[in-house]
Structure 1
Amino acid sequence: MALKLYYDAMSQPSRALLMFIRVNSIPCEEIAVALRKGEHKKEEFKKINPFQKVPAIDHNGFKLTESVSILRYLTREFPVKDHWYPKDSKLRARVDEYMAWQHLNLRMFGSMVFQHKIIIPLTKGEPPNEKSVARFEKGLDTVLGQIENIWLRDNPYIAGKQLSIADLLAITELEQPGMAAFDVRKGRPKIEEYMARVRNDLQPHYDEAHSVVRDVTVKFKEVMQAKL
């Protein structure tokens, strides 16, 4: 196939791309890169992405990294509906606004909660640093309040009235802390409604892309209950 996607379903932006490609029926060869096995560090993959991260694409020899750049590129290269990345300047600016904001906000704090509660303890073989966990959970609480009261205040979707690529990035980040038993929906009705809405819009691809997330969530809950 002309387009190849290199991904790991544990990666939030990888899941965003998986859903975008599948929901838009874009012909693609999906190539799993197991981060837990260090496959992204192999020399072969370094030829695809010199930064040795996922996701990445190879489109007829044109290699591209960074999920935001890839999503924008795919909206230009394939016949997808305009709502994903609107041609209207102001509507597109709203999508871009969120994608610029999310890196140091929802993505950072959600990822750090997951890293410090699961990944780092597993890697080091020691209990989580509760001080670090509390700091990042506090930051995540602040960011979720901004999602609830700013981004979703007047609209059903992150960047306006219609689903866009901004929602793919937002929803995957909102799902990530759940694996570490942090429920982003609790006490936040707009976020709860938003997540249900986006999940419904993207079915069956949503549940397919998040199957690994669901498995990890269940296993972590079992581990936590066993410790009680």
Structure 2
Amino acid sequence: MSIDLYMWPFSPPSRAVLMLTKELNIKTNIKIIELCVGQHLQPEYLSVSPGGLVPAIDDNGYKLWESRAIMQYLCSKYGPDTQLYPKDLETRAEVDRWLYTDCTLFPFIRDVTFFSKFRSILTESTISLLKDNLKLVNQLIGDKTYLVDNHLTIADLSLSASLSFLIYYNYDLTDYPNISRWYISLSKLLPYFEEINGFTSDEANEIVSKMQKI
């Protein structure tokens, strides 16, 4: 049995789900949706993800979008006993809290590092909100290797993928040393991390150039 994963390789939420399929050893048919040419707006894809968002999955007829919901679903179905999404209520709540924290943080990261390069959306308020959220996340990470309960969870996968945009676009993390240390540590602990997330700054800027032409 396999699932179809619709994704754009540069999309952090897409990469978070892809990393999870590696952890759970889920047989996955990867279907690339090229945002640079508008494939996410085509009727065929909108039948899977009505908002045109990536990633999305089709699990033998069951279609689901929103990366964090997908990760929770995949753990519940394909890894019900995995510590990636623990059964213990309080521990799972900690994972969920990090997922929601990441959900709040990522739009600010995306807007400041990526969208601002081809859309006129950057404001002082957005920059300030990004800094405030990074300060909080830096404080919460502290000296941890993993975000919850001293082992890998989907919270680590989701947050690390989101933070990757800061790395690609050389965002100054001097004021957030815990984030920088944690990200580098996790990238070395996960054998598939570099393969999935290892875009260079040049590659990231090339993608911006393509998006500018849309």
Q: TM-score, normalised by structure 2?
A: 0.86
The answer to whether 1:6 aligns with 2:6 is: yes
User: SS in structure 1 opposite 2:118?
Assistant: helix
Give, in angstroms, the shift of residue 195 of structure 1. Answer: 0.5
User: SS in structure 1 opposite 2:6?
Assistant: strand
User: SS in structure 2 opposite 1:13?
Assistant: helix
2 CA distance for matches of 1:25 and 1:214?
30
User: SS in structure 2 opposite 1:82?
Assistant: coil
2 CA distance for matches of 1:89 and 1:213?
39
Larger Rg: 1
Greater helix proportion: 1
Give, in angstroms, the shift of residue 154 of structure 1. Answer: 5.9
Q: TM-score, normalised by structure 1?
A: 0.82
Give 2:147's aligned residue: 158
In 2, are the aligned partners of 1:19 and 1:202 still within 8 Å (CA)?
Answer: no
In 1, are the aligned partners of 2:21 and 2:28 still within 8 Å (CA)?
Answer: yes
Give 2:196's aligned residue: 209
User: SS in structure 2 opposite 1:83?
Assistant: coil
2 CA distance for matches of 1:7 and 1:102?
19
The answer to whether 1:178 aligns with 2:177 is: no
Give, in angstroms, the shift of residue 217 of structure 1. Answer: 4.2
Of 112, 125, 137, 1:135 maps to 125
Give, in angstroms, the shift of residue 62 of structure 1. Answer: 0.8
Any gaps of 5 or more consecutive residues in structure 2? 208-214
1 CA distance for matches of 2:193 and 2:3?
21
Give the 5 Å matches for 1:1-228: 2-79=2-79, 82-104=82-104, 106-120=105-119, 132-149=122-139, 151-153=140-142, 155-183=144-172, 185-203=173-191, 205-212=192-199, 214-217=201-204
Structure 2 vs 1, CA of residues 96 and 213 (structure 1 numbering), >3 Å: closer, same or farther?
farther
Residue type matched to 1:159 in 2?
V
Give, in angstroms, the shift of residue 27 of structure 1. Answer: 0.6
- Give the RMSD, CA atoms, in angstroms: 2.2
